[in-house]
Amino acid sequence: MEKISKQTLQRLPMYLTFLKQRLTNSLDTVSATVIAQALGLNHVQVRKDLAAVSTGGKPKTGYITHDLISQIENFLGYNDCEKAVIVGAGRLGKALISYEGFRNYGLDIIAAFDKEVDIINKEISGKPIFSMELLKKTCIDHGVKIGIITVPVNNAQAVCDLLTNSGIKAVWNFAPVHLQVPEGVLVQNENMAASLAVLSKHLKQKNKQNKSRHT
């Protein structure tokens, strides 16, 4: 149950969403095949993913929906929250700090940090914005292990260094830049520019197809 791929980890929250919808509709059992069909995945893959987190379904009935939800949530640690800080209280940073939903995913954002004097010592949705000088002390005092980077590209590496020097072990990076980190620190990139590249290329290919169809 130890070695689990990043791909499996990324699918687990999707299973959870589906299973919770199912429970709302009073469907108390579920099979890997049903999940696979609903989510457009391969059923062998789903079976393998679930085997990594659950003691397994029964031959005819499949999994008990409620139990499977608990097992996935436990596995992902949704029940014990990890503390996080955000650096960069611009629009995106503010949106993330205000988003209550992260608590359901085991993430507790305790404070934001920024260098803009205008917003320092103010609050967003009840969470404080501190000056950068307080970053290290706050992380150490509160045992914060997750740092979220929502600063512009040019400052991202410096902020990342500051975070890893403050004991951060996992960086959630929203700046479209490759970050260098010490061994043992994980960087999870949320690269919206990359997503946009995929979207816009798809449209360009469709336009080309349409044009050639009409000539």
Contact positions vs a second copy (CB under 8 A): 4, 6, 9-14, 16-18, 21, 38-40, 76-77, 82, 91-92, 94-95, 98-99, 102, 105-107, 145-146, 153-154, 169-170, 172, 176-178, 180, 184, 186, 188, 190-204, 206
Q: Name which of 55 and 195 has its Cβ closer to a second copy.
A: 195
> Least Å distance between CB 180 and a second copy?
8
Q: Name which of 60 and 176 has its Cβ closer to a second copy.
A: 176
- CA dist 103 and 199 (Å) reads 30
Q: What is the DSSP string of 70-129?
A: HHHHHHHT-SSPEEEEEE--SHHHHHHHH-GGGGGGTEEEEEEEES-TTTTT-EETTEEE
Alpha carbon 200 to its chain's center: 24
| Tokens coding 119 | 């917003």
> Least Å distance between CB 58 and a second copy?
25
- CA dist 66 and 57 (Å) reads 12
User: Would you call 125 exposed, middle or buried from its count of C-beta atoms within 10 A (0-12, 13-18, 19+)?
Assistant: exposed
Q: Name which of 57 and 93 has its Cβ closer to a second copy.
A: 93
> Least Å distance between CB 178 and a second copy?
4
Q: Name which of 60 and 213 has its Cβ closer to a second copy.
A: 213
Q: Name which of 133 and 197 has its Cβ closer to a second copy.
A: 197
> Least Å distance between CB 54 and a second copy?
16
> Least Å distance between CB 150 and a second copy?
10
With CA atoms as reference, report the closest residue to 172 among 191, 197, 198: 191
